[in-house]
Amino acid sequence: MTTAATQAPMNISEHTAQAHADKTVGEPLVKNAKMSMRGVNVFYADKQAIYGVDLDIGRNEVIAMIGPSGCGKSTFLRCLNRMNDTIDICRVEGKLMLENQDIYDPSLDVVPLRARVGMVFQKPNPFPKSIYDNVAYGPRIHGLASRRTELDEIVETSLRKAGLWDEVKDRLHGPGTGLSGGQQQRLCIARTIAVSPEVILMDEPCSALDPIATAKIEELIAELSENYTIAIVTHSMQQAARVSHRTAYFHLGKLIEVNDTEKVFTNPDHDLTEAYITGRFG
Ligand SMILES: Nc1ncnc2c1ncn2[C@@H]1O[C@H](COP(=O)(O)OP(=O)(O)OP(=O)(O)O)[C@@H](O)[C@H]1O
Ligand SMILES: [Mg+2]
């Protein structure tokens, strides 16, 4: 593969033209998908941010979404649990399915949808409540536990799955915000897991964390993928390579390439993907 050192940088009009000429290359579709998106366009007022994306996310797969800043990764991720609904000027077109459920069915209640498709954000955002109450919050509003002992069990199991139990079991009633950044992010993962989601969306979940905390979250992603489907946006190509099975490369609002992660990072099909992974832009 060519490297950054041996290649002249692409100029902006060159890669703009390429991005807009092509259909997604590689294998954006899979058999027996957990989520299927077709013809997705997203607009902020009259400005288009996502162009005609077709993508499947497989069951129990970890899919990484990468690409230069502003290419639409967060916008696309937020379509998957209708988080864009909270942005007034945002409009989503296309067909987005979670198994047989049309995610954009106007009669669909987004609260249970967001329990099925949970989200972990870039900055850990625990509620100003105790560690226990952060994790118990979702099960309480969704009525998942009828007795206190059941709730205790959900809280413990979720904290264990998030790899945080041993560090917090003696301070469950202390504030969530009193934890370190990496612990807070694992608390947010525990909070997401507590409502038994099927899919977990993560938007740069490690970007505010140090390398040790990052390594813990990456280990956790590998463990969680046994039971959940995970879509993770990351700026770290090393992270994408370490945690994901497939990688989707976005560029200027288009989905350029989707392939097995190893292929994307060693022998990508598209020039733009290669230019990005070799550091020629982004
Ligand atoms: N709330 C918003 N209102 C208007 N435009 C927005 C909004 N959010 C995103 N955009 C625009 O949509 C495009 C895609 O933005 P998005 O945040 O999805 O990119 P990104 O790939 O996640 O970037 P980054 O890597 O910097 O997080 C950009 O042009 C951005 O300016
Ligand atoms: Mg983003």
Say if residue 157's pLDDT is above 80: yes
Spell out which residues have Cβ within 5 A of ligand 2, the ion: 74
Residues 227-245 have pLDDT tens digits of 999 999 999 999 999 999 9
Domain ranges of the chain: 4-126+196-277
Rounded distance between C-alpha atoms, residue 185 and residue 23, angstroms: 36
| Average of per-residue pLDDT across 90-112 | 97
Angle between helix 211-224 and 181-193 (nearest 10): 20
By the 8 A CB rule, do 50 and 78 touch? no
Say if residue 71's pLDDT is above 90: yes
Say if residue 4's pLDDT is above 50: no
Whole-number Å distance, alpha carbon 72 to ligand 1 midpoint, is 6
Residues 160-203 have pLDDT tens digits of 999 999 999 999 999 999 999 999 999 999 999 999 999 999 99
Rounded distance between C-alpha atoms, residue 23 and residue 149, angstroms: 53
Which ligand is closest in space to the CA of residue 84? 1
CA-67 nearest atom, ligand 1 = 21
Per-residue pLDDT band at 13 (split at 50, 70, 90): low
Ligand 1 within 6 A of 86 CB?
no
Q: Are strands 246-251 and 62-66 parallel, antiparallel or unpaired?
A: parallel
| Average of per-residue pLDDT across 13-29 | 70
Ligand 1 within 6 A of 74 CB?
yes
Rounded distance between C-alpha atoms, residue 171 and residue 16, angstroms: 53
Rounded distance between C-alpha atoms, residue 134 and residue 112, angstroms: 18
Say which CATH class 4-126+196-277 falls into.
Answer: alpha beta
Say if residue 258's pLDDT is above 60: yes
Residues 55-66 have pLDDT tens digits of 999 999 999 999
pLDDT of residue 160: 94
Rounded distance between C-alpha atoms, residue 64 and residue 83, angstroms: 19
Rounded distance between C-alpha atoms, residue 282 and residue 67, angstroms: 7
Per-residue pLDDT band at 280 (split at 50, 70, 90): confident
Ligand 1 within 6 A of 73 CB?
yes
| Average of per-residue pLDDT across 98-104 | 97
Question: What average pLDDT is seen over the chain?
Answer: 92
